[in-house]
Copies of this chain bind each other. A is one copy, B any other.
Amino acid sequence: MHHKPSLMTVAVFATALTLVHSNETKCDQTIAPVDSVSSQTQECLDCHATVTPGIVQDWETSRHSWVTVGAALAKPVIQRRVSAENPAADLLQHVVGCYECHSQNTDQHKDSFDHFGYRINVIVTPHDCATCHPVEVSQYEGSKKANAYGNLMENPVYHELLSTVNGMKSIEGDKIVSQEPGAVNLNLSCLGCHGSFVQVAGVDTVHSPVGDVVVPRLTNWPNQGVGRINPDGTKGSCTACHTRHSFSLEIARKPYTCAQCHLEPDVPAWEVYRESKHGNIFLSKGEGWDMEDVPWVAGKDFQAPTCATCHNSTLVSSDGTVIAERNHDFGSRLWLRLFGLIYSHPQPKSGNTTVIRNKDGLPLPTTFTGEVAADFLIGSSEQATRLASMEQMCKSCHSTPWVEGHFAHLDTVVHETDRMTKSATQLVVKAWQDSIEDKSNPFDEEIEKMWVEQWLFYANTMRYSAAMTGAPDYEAFKDGWWDMTKNLVQMKDMIDLKSALKKGGNR
C-alpha cells in the first residue's frame, strides 16, 4: 500500500523550500532595505498587527510593502508602476505603508482625525494615490467611472428610473404608492457600483483593545463604488479594482474584479466573457499566467485577453513594441457605447454625461427615434481612430480579415438590436397614445417595464455578446433573440388585454 500526500501539501512544501532563495534573488533592485518601513508606519503596524491583523498581513503580500518609492522609480519607464516624476523626498527611501497613504493631504480631508498623535484620514482618495500615480488618477478623473455618481443621480431621467425601481412600495386602497428610496437602499444597490456620497456627520467612540478611539462618523459607508464622492471632495475609489490592502495587479487584471459590477441582466460583460473562447482559455489555463508583469507581454505573459488587456493595461509584444498604452479612462479605447440609452451610440466626449441633451431636450444621448445627440458624442473620425487601436490589439493573435469580420458582425448586431428596441418603443408609445398606460412616469407600469427590459437587458446582452468573440447563447436563448422576440409579443398581448379591460371598464 502506497500512501502519498496530497498534491497540494507537496506544492506548499515546494514553495517553502524555494522561499529562502527567492527572498535573496528575486527582483534584486527592488528589495527594500531593512529600515525601509517609515517610523510612523512601523508605529501603525505595531498596534494594527494585533487590532486588525488581516489588513496588515494582506498589505504584507503587496508590492507596496517591500518596494520603496525610490526603487520603483529606478526602473525603466515602460516597467514602472508609478507615474510621479518627483515625489516628495521623504517618500523615496520608504516602502508604501499605512502612514504613507493615510496621512496625505490631511488639510483637505474632512475625515481626518487625531490618532495617537498622528493626523490620519479614514479614506485614501484618488487625490492621495496621485502622490505616486498622478497620470492614472488624471486619466481616471475624466472618465465616466469617476463621474458615475453624478451621471446617475443628477440626470433627472435616470433618477426617475432609479427612484421608481428602488422606492419602497405600500398598498393604499387599490393603488401601489412608491416612496423615494433611502440612502442605505441606494448605497447597497445602484450606488454600490456607482459610488456613494461619503460625508463626515460627527464622531464616534470606538472601544478597542488599546483603549477608546474617537473616529469620524461617515455617511453611506462602507462603499467602494467607482464614482464615490469622498470627504476631500474628490471622485472615485481606487480600491474598487485595486483591492485593499494587497493592491494586487493580479486581482485587478483578472475578470473577477470587473465582475463585481459588470453583470447580467443589464451589463453582462462577465457572463459573456466566461462563455467566450477567450474566457474558456483564461479559465482553463489562466492560473499559470503572469498577471503581475509590467509591461504586460501579449502571448508570453498570457494567451488570451482578460478585461484589463483590451480596456486599460499597457500591452507590448514580446519584442517590446508597445501595442497599447495604459489608460485609466476605461472608455478611452472605445468608439461605441454598447450600453443603450436607449440606443447604442458613439462614446460621449466627456465623462460627465449630465451635460448631454438630445434633440428633444432630454439628457439622453439618443432620441426615442434613434437620433444621436451628436454634439456631445465623439465624431466618426475619432471613432475610426479608436477602432483601429482596438483592432491593433486583436491583431496580436488574429489575422486582419478575422478581426474585420468580427467588428462587422458587431456593427450588424448593434443595428439589429437598435431596430428591435425601436419596435418596442413603438409599442410603448402606442400604449401611451391609447391611454393604456400613463407616460407621466415612463417606468412604473407593466408595459413600460417590458420596454425597459428590451433595451436595458436584452439589447445590451446581445451587444456585449457580439463584442466578445462569441458567447452564442447570449445571442440566442439567454436574454437574446428569444427574449427580445417574446418580449415584443408579450407587450402586444398586454396592450390588447389592457385595452379590452379599459373598454370593459368604460361600459
State whether A405 and B169 are in contact (beta carbons under 8 Å apart), knowing that A290-B12, A298-B54 are contacts in the complex: no
User: Contacting A26 at CB < 8 Å: which of B5, B164, B465, B485?
Assistant: B5
Digit string of A47-68 for contact with B (CB within 8 Å is 1, else 0)?
A: 0011111111110111101100
Tell me if A176 and B218 are in contact (CB < 8 A).
no
Q: How far is the CA of A2 from the CA of B56 in the complex (A)?
A: 11
User: Contacting A319 at CB < 8 Å: which of B50, B419, B500?
Assistant: B50
Tell me if B426 and A171 are in contact (CB < 8 A).
yes
Indicate if A488 sits at the interface (CB-CB under 8 A).
Answer: yes
Residues on the B chain within 8 Å of A419, using CB: 168, 170
Indicate if A440 sits at the interface (CB-CB under 8 A).
Answer: no
Q: How many copies does the complex hold?
A: 3
Q: How far is the CB of A500 from chain B (nearest CB, A)?
A: 5
Q: How far is the CB of A68 from chain B (nearest CB, A)?
A: 11
Tell me if B409 and A187 are in contact (CB < 8 A).
yes
Tell me if B218 and A401 are in contact (CB < 8 A).
yes
Q: How far is the CB of A29 from chain B (nearest CB, A)?
A: 14
Q: How far is the CB of A122 from chain B (nearest CB, A)?
A: 8
* Listed A/B pairs (5) with beta-carbon separation below 8 Å: A11-B15, A185-B412, A251-B285, A256-B283, A457-B477
Indicate if A211 sits at the interface (CB-CB under 8 A).
Answer: no
Indicate if A275 sits at the interface (CB-CB under 8 A).
Answer: yes
Tell me if A492 and B8 are in contact (CB < 8 A).
no
Tell me if A299 and B420 are in contact (CB < 8 A).
no
Residues on the B chain within 8 Å of A254, using CB: 283-284
Q: How far is the CA of A500 from the CA of B502 in the complex (A)?
A: 9
Residues on the B chain within 8 Å of A416, using CB: 168, 182, 185
User: Contacting A493 at CB < 8 Å: which of B401, B413, B446?
Assistant: B446
Tell me if A256 and B280 are in contact (CB < 8 A).
yes
